[in-house]
Amino acid sequence: MRPIRTIELFTSLGGIKRCYPRPSLATARDKVNTEPVRRDGMDELALRGGPEAAQALDVPDWPRCPDGARENVLDVLESANWCRVYDDAPWVDRFEERFADYHDADHAIAVANGTVALEVALRMLDVQPGDEVLVPPYTFIATASAVTSLGAVPRFVDVDPDTYNVNPAAVADAVTDRTVGMVGVHVAGYPMDFDALLPLLDDHDLFLVEDAAHAQGTEWRGEKVGTIGDVGTFSFQESKSLSGGEGGIVVTDDDVLAERGQLLHNIGRQDGSVYRHYELASNARMTEFQGALLCAQLDELPAQNETRRGNERALREEIADIDGISAKPEDDRITARGYCLFDLSYDPDAFDGLPRNRFIEALNAEGVPAGTGYSIPLYRQPAFSRATVEALVPADADVPAYRSLHLPGVEEVCSTTVTMPHEVLLASETGVRSVGDAVRKIRRRAPELG
């Protein structure tokens, strides 16, 4: 029986990591089918024992092993050369060159994961203890924790509830005399509004790090994201559309920044000497196994993204006439889309007051893997108390009272988002269109679920 991911897997993690066993559909029904069936027929809710509306949704397992992956990894295994010490990592070198070419970057530095990619990027830009860096509150925690790892202060900027990305209108009010830059996120692969953001950042002489963890293949006005700002970072964690299990990369077009990044990711090495170190730095290197696997994954990414884009169009068509559920706005400036998640906005008023989480439970039962995404803003995370951050930064740093923040854009997004993993868009078009059937069925029968 085809497995289904249930809401518990997505509620706190935004669909980013499915780290629990996925129950079979039969198991899920055993858990929820405790109420009597009210009527027979194809329109009966799956939660009440009826048939799935999305039986045709043939979501592939992810990650999957592409052609050539086994051969690449076996080559590393038999080579007795499993890591990069300095310039002896042919698979990592190859991946850096190919990814830089794919994302139109002059330089790419492969690292162990997306979190350390952000840390390396911020060190490349010389972020110092006590500096302030603007970050969105709707993102994975690494976007902000990378800032605190350097002794700097994250200052949260509200998001646009239509795009989930940093709201340009909120940037100016967040800037202080200690602000040095911003880490912006392309949430779910949907790019930031560069036209509005770049002039604002230039006016205040602020750098831009693009957190493109979700955005492999995304383009803005024909230019791949990652090098539109000063530095870009990507993640290759298991759930991403380009996956090495773990992995990350830093990209830039700036020769000086790239040279510094090479030094910072490799324990301060610079001149080829294994035991000569020019800066206190960590080991952020990618392994040869990751590089070999990612080379095989990259072979398939362009075609997979084309499939996802076609199925996004199909899904948009299916839900266009359904009140209460909507996708992010289409924008001609987005010339290509990469994906990690596909987000929808849910209005309970159009579903007879059905709570968002109950809607997701019903959607799961109908055969559609979905969840809440990031269910609370970062400033509401237990890790972001003022006392916790004050312990990491200089005594004279101005740490906001995070628990007192109220940013309406992100709080709306956290309470209304329904998100699906990118592999849903790798199903057949017929299967993807059946998501619309599931939503319509739940809307018709919503009064039974209130």
Question: Would you please indicate which residues are annotated as catalytic (active-site) residues?
Answer: 140, 211, 214, 237, 240, 269, 275, 285
Contact in structure between 84 and 92 (CB atoms under 8 Å) = yes
What number of other Cβ atoms are within 10 A of residue 238's Cβ?
16
What does DSSP say about strands 223-224 and 219-220: parallel, antiparallel, or unpaired?
A: antiparallel
Q: Tokens 């909120």 sit at which residue? A: 170
Distance CA 367, CA 344 (A): 17
Distance CA 4, CA 164 (A): 26
**Could you give the 3-state DSSP secondary structure of residue 336?**
strand
201 phi and psi angles, rounded to 5 deg: -65, -40
Q: Which residues have C-beta within 8 Å of that of residue 321, sequence separation ≥ 6?
A: none
Residue 296's H or E segment, with its range, is helix 288-319
CB-based burial label for 100 (10 Å; 0-12, 13-18, 19+) = buried
What does DSSP say about strands 219-220 and 341-346: parallel, antiparallel, or unpaired?
A: unpaired
Residue 233 pairs in a beta bridge with: 211, 250
